[in-house]
Structure 1
């Protein structure tokens, strides 16, 4: 059973971007809003201090885990926001490359932002997501 997520591109917008401009969902669905996934280990410690790519990898692992807890996966995501605590575009690109690798061909609409500071000590990267799953699809066991 699929969610009916359809990624939208438009020939009157730049074709050089590596994300869809919009997404639609054509099936009855259950919506999932995922809090910003952070680069924390199981003990709540920030991993890969000072390393944008290392933190982005942990963020994406944590995002996958959060989605699985709601019975979803990355391919059910319809929108993301990627936050990077830096004013350097190169740092944003470093985090974005890890994000894109994890998302694969599922290039959903996303916003990439450079921000001043994030919530945890030494945190450099955070990704929040909205996902949908088809009604009636079984939820994965998670903490409720």
Structure 2
């Protein structure tokens, strides 16, 4: 076994366009965000039915939450993406928007289609985990 920290791809699992997992360095402060939604400062849903714009707003809201505790989206080590759709085209659109925002960043993520999210016309919600080094 090799000592490793950061994202990895396991050769035995075949080629992939995403990290299979990540090894966190010892120490640091773990930040676990609740499901982040595409809401504006008044709590209203933004861009009903627009997957890409909802993803952009969701990531901006995550950035604001992380900033509140002295971190930024560069500290993200894992994401769980929920898309309220049974259409793979909607999931693909969410994934495309997500990867465009995190251009070049690589961390394990899960993309799941779900039947419904909390707000009417909400299509995107993301849970983020972040690690701030000690």
Same fold (TM over 0.5): yes
- Match in the other structure for 2:12: 12
SS at match of 1:12: helix
Aligned length: 131
- Match in the other structure for 2:70: 71
Listed one character per residue, the Cα deviations across residues 33-77 of structure 1 (whole Å, up to 9, x for unaligned) are 011110100111111111111111111111111111122222211
- Match in the other structure for 1:97: 96
Structure 2: state its 5+ residue gaps: none
SS at match of 1:35: coil
Structure 1: state its 5+ residue gaps: 136-144
Checking the alignment, whether the CA contact within 8 Å between 1:5 and 1:76 is kept in structure 2 is no
Normalised TM-score (structure 2): 0.91
RMSD: 1.5
Structure 1 segments (4+ residues) deviating >4 Å: none
Determine the C-alpha separation between the residues in 2 that align with 1:14 and 1:124: 31
